[in-house]
Amino acid sequence: MMFAVVGLAFALTEDPSLTGLAWAVFYGLLVSLAPILVVFYLLRTGRIKELHMSNTGERHIPYVTAALSALLAFLIITWLDGPELLRCLALLNTIILTALGLINTRYLISIHATAIMATFLLTGLVYSWVLAWVVVFPLLLGVCIVRLYLKRHTGAQIIAGLLLGLVAVWLMQTALGCFA
């Protein structure tokens, strides 16, 4: 969901019109809604037992679906010459979701921590570091505290998620020139 909000901001930053809004809606439908619908389907059919998917074996289909949805968004945005920031974001989503899917076959790390760290960094890189620190950093702290409070992750799993978000954004910026 965080990336859908970032996608909306990025699309409207590059194209503050109905076209930009259409790109944001398209991106949000593919990257956020499609994977959520798959999870609800898996819940309804009993293929996963609970929404959190504590059994990491239940996470394979949702991760594959999310990564493929992000890749499809990237390919379509690229093919149709959509907003560059949105294209970079879709590729970042693909990389992060693929990495999370692979890592979570052996070790559980926090997708929430990964996403909020990426959001913090993207806000700083694209808009301003003041905005990132004042608006997003408190959310970053809140997400991490809530994940610990709910006992959904250990401190190490949250730190691993934060590091994945940091490394993924850094690689996208340095290797591909995105988010500059």
The string of pLDDT tens digits covering residues 127-142 is: 999 999 999 999 999 9
Between CA 130 and CA 117 the distance in angstroms is 15
Cβ(21)–Cβ(11) below 8 Å: yes
Residue 157 has pLDDT above 90, yes or no: yes
* Residue 11 belongs to domain spanning: 2-176
Structure tokens at 119: 């959001």
Share of the chain above pLDDT 70, in %: 100
| pLDDT per position as a tens digit, 66-121 | 999 999 999 999 999 999 999 999 999 999 999 999 998 888 899 999 999 999 99
The sign one gets for the Cα dihedral 132, 134, 135, 141 is positive
DSSP 74-100: HHHHHHTT--HHHHHHHHHHHHHHHHH
pLDDT of residue 152: 86
How high does pLDDT run on average in the chain?
Answer: 94
pLDDT of residue 107: 87
pLDDT of residue 10: 96
Residue 52 has pLDDT above 90, yes or no: no
Cβ(88)–Cβ(139) below 8 Å: no
Structure tokens at 130: 């003041």
Where residue 57 falls among pLDDT bands split at 50, 70, 90?
A: confident
Structure tokens at 44: 């309804």
Residue 53 has pLDDT above 80, yes or no: no
Total domains present in the chain: 1
Between CA 38 and CA 62 the distance in angstroms is 7
Between CA 126 and CA 120 the distance in angstroms is 10
Between CA 67 and CA 96 the distance in angstroms is 8
